[in-house]
Structures are given as C-alpha cells and as structure tokens.
Amino acid sequence: MRDATPGVVNLDLSLPVWDEFFTIAPLILVGSRDPVGTANIAPKHMGLQMGWENYYGFVCSPNHRTQQNIIRHGSFTVSFTRPNQIIVTNLAASPRWDDDTKPGLQAIPTRPATTVDGVLVENCYLWLECELERTIDGLGPNSLVLGKIVAASAATELIESLALEAKEQGVQYLLHLWKEAGALQALREDLAADFEGEDPLLPEPSHEAEETRRRLLAAADTLGVRKRLVDHDEDYVRLYQTEVNESFKHLGLVEPYQ
Amino acid sequence: MRDATPGVVNLDLSLPVWDEFFTIAPLILVGSRDPVGTANIAPKHMGLQMGWENYYGFVCSPNHRTQQNIIRHGSFTVSFTRPNQIIVTNLAASPRWDDDTKPGLQAIPTRPATTVDGVLVENCYLWLECELERTIDGLGPNSLVLGKIVAASAATELIESLALEAKEQGVQYLLHLWKEAGALQALREDLAADFEGEDPLLPEPSHEAEETRRRLLAAADTLGVRKRLVDHDEDYVRLYQTEVNESFKHLGLVEPYQ
Ligand SMILES: Cc1cc2nc3c(=O)[nH]c(=O)nc-3n(C[C@H](O)[C@H](O)[C@H](O)COP(=O)(O)O)c2cc1C
Ligand SMILES: Cc1cc2nc3c(=O)[nH]c(=O)nc-3n(C[C@H](O)[C@H](O)[C@H](O)COP(=O)(O)O)c2cc1C
C-alpha cells in the first residue's frame, strides 16, 4: 500500500473499520413478538431505506431475540426515536433476566400496530410496520433483515414540514435552497461569460436552473417569506468558488476563478 | 386500519412512503470502472455500514452504469462527501452524452485508490475500497450492492476526533456525554431513594454508571476541560424527568416524578 496522501490516514483493517472513527447513524427501535406472546423491543443503529419503493432493512445479530422472533413470526415494527428518547432506548437495550424476560420493557409506552401483530413505541416521529421479506446472512456473523412496509405513520410535524406549511423548518429549508440556487446561478453566469457563452462546468441545462428558481419563488410566496430572499449570499458564492477552483486546478487551468 | 392516534398521520402506501416526508441520508460518491477503462463516479444516498465487520452496502438501480460496472469489474470505491461538495456531486450526477461519456467527471479531483483498481474523490472525509461480495436483487426494481472493505482511509480530523485530541469536536462530545451521565445519575439516585434503595427503571447496574463517569473524568483530564464539567445540567435532568414520567404514566403510576 502506498503512503497516504497528506491529511489522509490509512485505516487498520485488521480491526473493524467502524471502531476507528465516529459517525452518525439513525437510532431505531425494532419491535417483535416473543415466543410467549409478549412484545419485544430492541435498539438498532444500522437501518436503511432499501430503494425508492416500500422496503426497509436493518442489520442484526442472529443471536438476538429480535431476529429469531422476526423469522418465527414473519413481521416486525420500526419506531424512529427522537434525540431525547435515551431512557426508552436504554430500557430496550437492557439484558434479559434469568427467566428470559426484559422487565424494563414494561415501562416503555407503546400502542398497538395497525396492520401487523406488534407494538409501536409512543413519542417517536416515524413508524413502519413490516412483513419479513427475507433475511440475508453472510455479513460476517451478522444478517440483514429485509422487510416490506405494509403500513406507516408519522408525527404530524414531520408531514407538515414536507407540505411546506408556514413552519420555521420549511422556511429554513427554502432559504437554504434559495441561497444555493443563487450561488450556482452567479457562478454559471460568470463562467459562461468567461467561456464565450458556454457553461464549461455545470451539466444541468440553464432552463432547468431557471425552473428551480421559479418554483422556489412560488414556494416562498406560499410561505410568505419573499422579503427574506437575498440573491447573492457571499458566503455561499465563495464556498462554490473554492470548489470550482479545485476542479480548475485538477483540469490544469492554473488561473484561479474569482 | 384504525384511525391514527392524535398527532399521528397514517401514510399512504400506494406511493413510496419515502416521498411523503423529509429525512436525512448520507451522501456518498461511488467510483467504478467503465468498460472502456475510464473512471465513473455517481452519487448515492442509500448507503449503510453492514454489520460490525468490514462490509459496506448501498442500494442501486440495475439500470445505472455503476452497478453494471461493479458486477463486471468486481470492485468499487466509496468517497463520503462533505456538506460543501455540492458541485462535485452535481457533476457526478450529470447525464451521459450521446457518445455515452460523462464529460463533467473530468473536472472532479481524484486520486488513485490504493488497493482496488479505481479512484477516490479528493477533499472527502472518508474513503472505502471494496471488493464486490454480491448483489442482492428484489428490492422492488432495485438492488443492494454489498462490498467487503479491503482498504480504508480517512481525513486526519476524523481520526483526531476519535483520539479525543484537544479539538473542539472531542470537547463538545465529552461535555454532552458528561451532561447525560450526570442527569442519569441524578435520576438514578432520586428514584432509588423513592423505591427503598432499588432502582426501578434503569437497567444498567450502578457500578457501570460509576465506571462511565470515571472514564469521562479521565478523558476530560486529557483534554484539559475539567473546569467546564457541570454536574447537574438542569435542562438535561428535566428532559429525562419528562421521559421517566411518560414511563410512569404508562405503568399506571399516577404521581408525577419531579
Ligand atoms: C445504541 C444501540 C444500538 C444498537 N444497534 C444494534 C444494531 O444495529 N444491530 C444489532 O443487532 N444490535 C444492536 N444493538 C444491540 C441490541 O439491540 C441489544 O443487545 C438488545 O438487547 C438485543 O435484544 P433482543 O435479544 O431482545 O433482540 C444496539 C444497542 C444499542 C444500545
Ligand atoms: C443526491 C443524489 C442521490 C442519489 N442517490 C442514488 C441512490 O441511492 N441509488 C441510485 O441508484 N442512484 C442514486 N442517484 C442517481 C444516480 O447516481 C445518477 O442517476 C447517476 O447519474 C447514475 O450514473 P451511472 O449511470 O454512471 O451509474 C442519486 C442522485 C443524486 C443527485
């Protein structure tokens, strides 16, 4: 192996690479049905939307009751935790007692799932109810549990943010998109002038960019935030200039763009 | 299906559920080798650590060149983007021209991978080099591309944050853990007093909690931040009190804990 590039460290693969740095992960609570009929809940951090259709998967140890339950019972639930739900998560992770129960689970507020036989954890922000599609073994000792989503529900706020109702979350998102669109537009015009009307870098045709800005303006009208839209946010433009210059350097164009 | 709980909206499953809300996702750039030998790069947002060992997977359309390349060539690279790498991502997502090339790729700064035959995108914060383990079809029309990690590298800062060197990221993380440990400790003592010395809620034995606090104090010494450690952050304690009360209500204990 060559020496690493400056500023880059080669990682040691005799260890799991995941132990060598911090990263973020979603924290979900998976609900399953114990053999004796009680609800089981366990935290998992390796969950993923599996494609653009209604599939969800998570990585699980085959030694965990969760996976055994799901294979036997054929279904599971997923509750997506909020940052303050550390106690509930802690309770769900508690070890089993000698009689094979997890008494801490009784303190977790739940409601019945609507479509599969199972429970959902209250106060979360998103819930999926899944039928087991299959388990995929061979991730070292671990498996991927793949589910088909057969019902889903969400906290009202989560949906409202998508509907771009006049909520601060929607407004912030719009302002962010607007600044990005403005900075890209400024770069595009600038570069096109330098390159005799041809845009040398950005692949998206300029009528698409125009259309994006038109739709953002319409959304801003709906939200009543037009007067907060600023066309050239210098910080954003500078950020993108830096990135363009990286590309220029890479292409052997020595003159920095500014 | 029953009516949804107050504050909860049932989602429409005749659409992909993922179109009904915003969520966060990692943005990676997958590198592969085109049939003619040039490097291909494409953005993906459905990537996941696959277990605690050295596996990584991402969801891909079989219609994309990326997946076809990886199956033919047997390997791929993953570069984890930083928030400002929107132009590079845009270039990597550009459509193919009539001659089947993506000219925008030439403007993306890359360096050769160290172990597999491929390229890594410069200025990212983490890079994986993978051999194809297998593709798993049947996620609707999509597939999961599963790789065994055979080399990995990271930006120096990412590693330094783990080593808890005197960086603000390490300090912030430590302060956060310390506040959580303090709030849990306060709750634990309080509840144990109410329940005649027995801790009714938190499963982790109290010597483990003590050990956590001891290790955090040692880390704080190393970082030189001991004087910023506050034992009882009232906001955290209140947050956890709320959560405990949810559990109490659920258990039928009407007296709120405060
Ligand atoms: C924060 C956190 C994240 C976890 N993530 C996973 C995971 O992604 N996959 C897994 O198999 N176990 C994970 N675990 C461990 C199990 O969920 C845990 O051991 C649980 O008690 C197993 O319970 P069960 O035997 O009832 O299934 C995690 C635990 C915690 C505390
Ligand atoms: C932000 C973003 C995220 C994307 N995420 C994915 C993904 O998770 N899976 C996928 O198959 N395609 C994804 N795509 C689309 C493809 O990567 C894109 O169409 C690419 O041009 C395909 O190129 P290729 O034919 O060279 O593989 C994403 C595109 C963008 C812009």
Rounded to the nearest angstrom, the minimum Cα separation between B66 and chain A is 15
Does B54 contact A16 at a Cβ distance shorter than 8 Å?
Answer: yes
Tokens of B167: 């960086």
The amino acid at B150? V
Q: Nearest 5°: phi and psi at B254?
A: -80, -30
Residue B253 has pLDDT above 50, yes or no: yes
CA-based torsion, B227, B228, B233, B236: positive or negative? negative
Q: What is the pLDDT of residue B53?
A: 96
| Positions in chain A short of pLDDT 70 | 1-4, 161-169, 197-205, 231, 254-258
For chains A and B, what is the number of CB pairs under 8 angstroms? 266
Does B123 contact A202 at a Cβ distance shorter than 8 Å?
Answer: no
Who has greater pLDDT, B155 or B220? Answer: B155
Mean predicted confidence (pLDDT) in B96-116 = 89
Residue B215 has pLDDT above 90, yes or no: no
Q: What is the pLDDT of residue B166?
A: 45
Chain A residues touching B152 at Cβ < 8 A: 10-11, 13, 17
CA distance B56 to B114: 18
Residue B210 has pLDDT above 70, yes or no: yes
Mean predicted confidence (pLDDT) in B31-36 = 95
Give all domains of chain A, ordered by start, each with its CATH number.
17-154 (2.30.110.10), 162-250 (no CATH)
Nearest alpha carbon to residue B11 among A126, A64, A17:
A126
Q: What is the pLDDT of residue B1?
A: 44
What tens digit of pLDDT does each residue of B7-21 get? 899 999 998 999 888
Task: Give the 3-state secondary structure of residue A113.
Answer: coil
Rounded to the nearest angstrom, the minimum Cα separation between B239 and chain A is 7
Nearest CA in chain A to B142: A51
- C-alpha dihedral, A216 to A222 to A227 to A229, nearest 10°: -20
CA distance A67 to A46: 14
B168-194 and B234-250 helices, crossing angle to 10°: 50
CA distance A222 to A188: 28
CA distance A185 to A201: 12
Q: What is the pLDDT of residue B130?
A: 98
What tens digit of pLDDT does each residue of A54-98 get? 999 999 999 999 999 999 999 999 999 987 788 889 889 988 888
Nearest CA in chain A to B23: A158
ipTM of this complex prediction, to 2 decimal places: 0.81
Does B88 contact A247 at a Cβ distance shorter than 8 Å?
Answer: yes
Q: What kind and span of H or E run contains B111?
A: strand B110-112
CA-based torsion, A35, A36, A41, A42: positive or negative? negative
Q: What is the pLDDT of residue A38?
A: 93
Residue B257 has pLDDT above 70, yes or no: no
Q: How is residue B144 annotated by DSSP?
A: E
Chain B residues touching A106 at Cβ < 8 A: 251
